[in-house]
Amino acid sequence: SQDELDEIYAFAIDLGRKAGDMLMERVEQRISGGNDPQTFEEKENAVDIVTQTDEDVEVFIRNAIQSKYPSHQFLGEETYAKGASRDYLIDEQPTWCIDPLDGTVNYTHIFPMFCVSIGFIVQHRPIIGVIYAPFQDQLFSACSGRGAWLNEKRRLPLLHNPIPPMPANAPSQCIFSCEWGKDRRDIPDGNMHRKIESFVNMAAEIGARDGKGGMVHGMRSLGSATLDLAYTAMGSFDIWWEGGCWEWDVAAGIAILLEAGGLVTTANPPENPDTAPIGDVRLGSRLYLAIRPAGPSATETGRESQ
Ligand code: IPD
């Protein structure tokens, strides 16, 4: 029921803030310690790293969830990495899907774009999302039917952007965002130059066809897939895509983006799109593409005519 969901939502917000405060305590310790050891361990390769903080914060979140909601399932990045998971990652059951520290590389370098990411999924659909970036004190949150919010007071998206969202404007005048990714088996830069090149070329090609100029406004790479989705929900990014994400990187962000009115698609759409609810997202994909919301007053201001 909506009452139950509201209770879960309030719990998730409180938990996100507490976990974010834990991250900041560690940052403060590292800053004031002077001699910052920057300790991390490698997982799959030299750019896939984990710190003690990831693990401690995940234990804190997992304990809190399991004592409050013992019947709910739990999927966390570090629990999974330690091999404690199931064959399938998400099923029909209510599942908490969390990344205790998204942007571990940023955290390690004390680049402020790191966050706690808490998603709640029912029947494959992320319906509650809480993302807290403690260095910037930015809390993104959403619950199905309750809107998407920044710091619980500003509704997302923040602005009606005069540039229509994709596909109407694909993709000239956009800020697009993509990441370096962690799978560098073949190419050390994770294919970044190819991603940029193909995007810019696509813009130019479409621009040549529709006479709109065909130039992107810019390209960003935050280092956190979770925050990429939150910034797309804000309307700051027009498009984000990444191959290689896991469920915990995207669950909370998808809940927030959908509630803000944005779109997200995966490489594994529902088996029967005709019967799936609008915005249904099957996690389990590694490839995601997100498009920002049109904005609250987009239809009144004549978006369709542009
Ligand atoms: C990673 C970050 C990164 C993205 C990777 C994620 P982590 O998460 O979000 O930007 O490119 O796909 O796995 O390891 O920092 O939690």
- ipTM for the whole complex: 0.93
Strand partners, 178: 241
Ligand 1 atom nearest residue 99's Cα:
16
Counts of helices then strands in the chain (DSSP H, E): 7, 14
Domain boundaries, the chain: 2-155, 175-305
Written in H, E and C, the secondary structure of 202-248 is HHHHHHHHHCCCCCCCEEECCCCHHHHHHHHHHCCCCEEEEECCCHH
pLDDT given for residue 299 in this prediction: 44
pLDDT given for residue 306 in this prediction: 33
* Rounded Cα–Cα distance for residues 88 and 93 (Å): 12
CATH classification of 175-305 is 3.90.470.20, yes or no? no
What lines the ligand 1 site, CB under 6 Å? 77, 99, 102-104, 179, 181-182, 223-225, 242, 244-245, 249
pLDDT given for residue 305 in this prediction: 34
Query: Residue 46 Cα, ligand 1 centroid: separation in angstroms?
Result: 13
pTM of this prediction?
0.89
Residue 305 in tokens: 């005519």
Q: Whose CA is nearest to atom 16 of ligand 1?
A: 102
For residue 36, give Cα distances in angstroms to 30, 53, 65, 192.
Answer: 5, 14, 32, 30
With H, G, I as helix, E, B as strand and everything else as coil, classify residue 282. Answer: coil
Residue 256 in tokens: 């927030």
Query: Residue 249 Cα, ligand 1 centroid: separation in angstroms?
Result: 7
* Choice from 40, 249, 285 to test ligand 1 binding pocket (greatest atom count within 8 A of CB): 249
Q: Which stretches of the chain drop beneath a pLDDT of 50?
A: 297-306
CA dihedral 237, 238, 242, 246 (to 10 degrees): 70
pLDDT given for residue 274 in this prediction: 66
pLDDT digits (tens, 9 = 90+) for 41-67: 887 777 777 888 889 999 999 999 999
Ligand 1 atom nearest residue 246's Cα:
13
pLDDT given for residue 268 in this prediction: 63
Any idea which fold 2-155 has? Answer: Fructose-1,6-Bisphosphatase; Chain A, domain 1 (3.30.540)
